[in-house]
Amino acid sequence: MAGGSSRRTSRHTVLHVVFTLPGDIAAIAYQNKALVYGLLFRAAAETLRTIAADPKHLGAEIGFFVVLHTWGQNLLYHPHLHCVVAGGGLSADGNRWIACKPGFFLPVRVLSRLFRRLFLEHLKKAFDGGQLQFFSGLQHLSERDAFRRYLAPLRKAEWVVFAKPPFAGPEQVLDYVGRYTHRVAISNNRLVAIEDGKVAFRWKDYRHGSRQKVMTVAADEFTRASCYTSCPRAFIASAITASSAIAIARKSSPACRDLLGMPVPEPSHSRSAKDYRDRYEDLTGHSLIRASAVFKTIGNHWRTGSAIGSIIPCVGL
């Protein structure tokens, strides 16, 4: 094993960091989903990699992937990112694995401040480039002075970035990510009643000790809220431009496994008799496998930009 690992901690720790957009920015995102979601991915990735690479904090190149979540338990629009981060990274020379301190990843306040600055910088550039659109109650933001005044208090506000307890292991990571990327907005077991043109469902209020509550909304509002979970087609295509990050991961993975003393996984060429793609085709008559090939072709035509750091976006559907 070349080099070694510095700092005593579990070298296989998998961490969980959440980046949230303030409500006033979420209002802009709702009218500019593809663009703002892309800025959210970019700012979060730049924030994590910049702070992690700083010798004052970790001094390592980290690896992570990100899941976009656009709604909350109460089905209100709430765009935020869940980042699954390795508990350490490669040293600048690539010869050492630098592990995080036990029970600590990176300073949340530092992450929050840099994330706020980077996102607002990207948003201003998008405005200057005429990429943002405003409608209804936000139409006045099309004017430069109004847009500047709108953002002014957000430059001083606290942006929510927080670290959740580490995952117990790879199995918990896969279970968690699967719930976000292969599910609908709300599961059947949360539905309480559907009657008189209204839908009642259970939701967990995280602000009050994760208490279980019941919310009742009109059926059309329930349907509209469920549509928050569908990402715009343009965003799917733009996400493919980050696929070169896979090549970065493939290049770094052997070194990471060597430094961590992990065995090389055996390649698997088999697929279970029926997985979710088969079940989807049985139910809808549409093939996700063929759709994947189409998106790959689209990505080859879209691949004109650079990758968003070492990040593979996983978009919750």
Domain spans in the chain, listed from the N-terminal domain onward:
4-183+232-262+304-315, 187-230
Q: How high is the pLDDT of residue 312?
A: 38
pLDDT (tens digit, 0 to 9) for every residue of the chain, 317 residues total? Answer: 333 444 434 455 788 899 999 999 999 999 999 899 999 999 999 999 999 999 999 898 888 888 888 877 777 788 889 888 888 888 888 888 888 887 677 889 999 999 999 999 999 999 999 999 999 999 999 999 999 999 999 999 999 998 876 667 667 776 776 666 655 667 777 888 888 888 888 888 777 777 888 888 888 888 877 766 566 655 543 344 444 455 556 667 777 767 666 777 776 665 556 666 777 677 667 676 665 554 454 444 444 333 333 333 433 32
Q: How high is the pLDDT of residue 203?
A: 80
At residue 88, what is the residue type? G
CA dist 72 to 1, 40, 112, Å?
45, 17, 20
Is the separation of the CB atoms in 51 and 111 below 8 Å?
yes
pTM passes above 0.85: no
Q: How high is the pLDDT of residue 249?
A: 60
Strands 61-71 and 77-90: antiparallel
Over residues 205-214, the pLDDT tens digits come to 777 777 888 8
C-alpha–C-alpha distance, residues 68 and 316, integer Å = 6
Place of tokens 């965003």: 235
C-alpha–C-alpha distance, residues 15 and 6, integer Å = 18
Q: How high is the pLDDT of residue 207?
A: 72
Q: How high is the pLDDT of residue 22?
A: 95
Cβ-based neighbours of 69, under 8 Å, separated by 6 or more: 78, 79, 80, 81, 82, 180, 316
Spatial CA neighbour of 32 closest among 235, 206, 199, 256: 235
Is the separation of the CB atoms in 217 and 226 below 8 Å?
no
